Amino acid sequence: MAFRKCNRKGDIIMNKAHLVNRFFNEDCIGGCKEHFPDNSVDLIITDPPYGINGDTLHKHYNRKEEYVIDGYVEIPQKEYPNFSKEWIKQAERILKPGGSIYIVSGYTNLIDILNALRETSLKEINHIIWKYNFGVYTKQKFVSSHYHILFYTKPGTKHTFNTFCRFGPAEKGDNEKGSANYQDREDVWIINREYKPGEIKNKNELPSKLLTKMIQYSSNEEDLVCDLFLGSFSTAKIAIGLNRKATGFEISKNAFDHQIQEISKLREGSLLKSLRQPIVDIPRNEGRPWEPTEIQKVIYRFNSLITQFSKKEAIKILTEEFGRGTWSITKLLNKEHYKTNGTKHLSNY
Ligand SMILES: C[S@@+](CC[C@H](N)C(=O)[O-])C[C@H]1O[C@@H](n2cnc3c(N)ncnc32)[C@H](O)[C@@H]1O
């Protein structure tokens, strides 16, 4: 695999055909200024230090410290607002227009990250709640078991969002109910942390399912994915496995030296075969404007079908006959119904 450990200064080659995976054992703020030109990264996924005294994290998480890599670098809480502004300013600068950023944050210093984002041109797309099964043990209050994921994009062009990369528009959800695509795109994600007994790890390793989801929706193969706080290099490992190029920073020498060995063993694209293939059957006329004659035909046909079938069945038949999606047919019928009857929905059927 083409990768480079970068301790020396040098420019990143930004021509896609020549991109290599590059990792820097440096502070990400200075490192970005030095190595990354403006508008050079397609996607940033990052999980900054939390500013909550990292050395006690293991107590919260009730785990064996001998397997945790020594050298997690924390940021003192009083420096957190300024630190957040500085790295987020760099993230904004290096993102390409239309590029996306996902920031994972606990609630303690979330306000500083939100304030820093407000000082940029980055646009909020979603505030995702990630619910996991590794809650801090408490007696006198509710158990904390969520993180925030702030999904923003850089304005300038349409952002990459691969709507059907995991589930097709007609696939059914859990227990054959609802739409699998809709459920996968709800903004509460229930993804468990991974237990890796006996393995060396970073203090806050993100689960591969979480990273895979963000990378699939917000990038394409060969895109450059950056993590400003690599930790265990989890973002980089999944990105490389999904045939993206990876880059980023980790300030801790211990963590960096251990993970750079691990990552050199990976094969580009090795995770692609494990991805679920969505069933994508896009209606043949999707996106084509409605012609007045076609609208008349749909209404005429609907009025005839509704004498024999339920509304749901009639709409399904119409989607097949007219090569349109369910949503598009329903919206049209509601609109025409409103014009004629002055009531909003086809509820009388
Ligand atoms: C929350 S952890 C990241 C965990 C990572 N997402 C994973 O899955 O393993 C934050 C990491 O940022 C590193 N770090 C702290 N300050 C940094 C800085 N200024 N530049 C780069 N890395 C830094 C810490 O040493 C720590 O490994």
Co-location of 203 and 334 in the same domain: no
CA of 10 to the centre of ligand 1 (A): 22
Quick: pLDDT tens for 332-344: 998 888 888 777 6
Residue 304 has φ and ψ, to the nearest 5°, of -80, -45
73 lines ligand 1 (CB under 6 A): yes
Give distance in angstroms: CA of 186 to centre of ligand 1.
Answer: 28
User: 93 or 176, which is more confident?
Assistant: 93
For residue 228, the ligand 1 atom closest to its alpha carbon is 21
Considering the domain architecture, whether residues 102 and 176 belong to the same structural domain is answered as yes
Cα gap 210→131, rounded to integer Å: 11
Question: Is the model's pLDDT at 72 over the cut of 90?
Answer: no
Q: Could you tell me if residue 279 is inside a domain?
A: no
Which of 274, 302, 318 is the C-terminal boundary of a domain? Answer: 274
Report how far ligand 1's centroid is from the alpha carbon of 155 (Å): 27
Is any atom of ligand 1 closer than 6 Å to the C-beta of 204? Answer: yes
Q: How far is the CA of 279 from the centre of ligand 1 (A)?
A: 37
Residue 183 has pLDDT above 90, yes or no: yes
CB 226 within 8 A of CB 41: yes
How many structural domains does the chain have? 2
In a domain, 307, yes or no: yes
pLDDT at residue 299, as a whole number:
93
pLDDT given for residue 338 in this prediction: 80
- The reply to whether 210 and 306 lie within a common domain is no
Q: What is the pLDDT of residue 227?
A: 98
> With a 6 A CB cut-off, is 27 part of the ligand 1 pocket?
yes
Domain membership of residue 349 (yes or no) is no
Domain encompassing residue 329: 292-341
State the distance from the centre of ligand 1 to the C-alpha of 225, rounded, in angstroms: 16
Q: Tell me, yes or no, whether 31 lies in a domain.
A: yes
CA–CA gap between residue 228 and residue 5 (Å, rounded)? 15
Say if residue 257 is in the same domain as residue 138.
yes
Report the range out of 65-69, 218-222, 314-318, 340-344 with the highest average pLDDT. 218-222
Could you tell me the pTM of the whole model? 0.80
Structure tokens given for 115:
């304030």
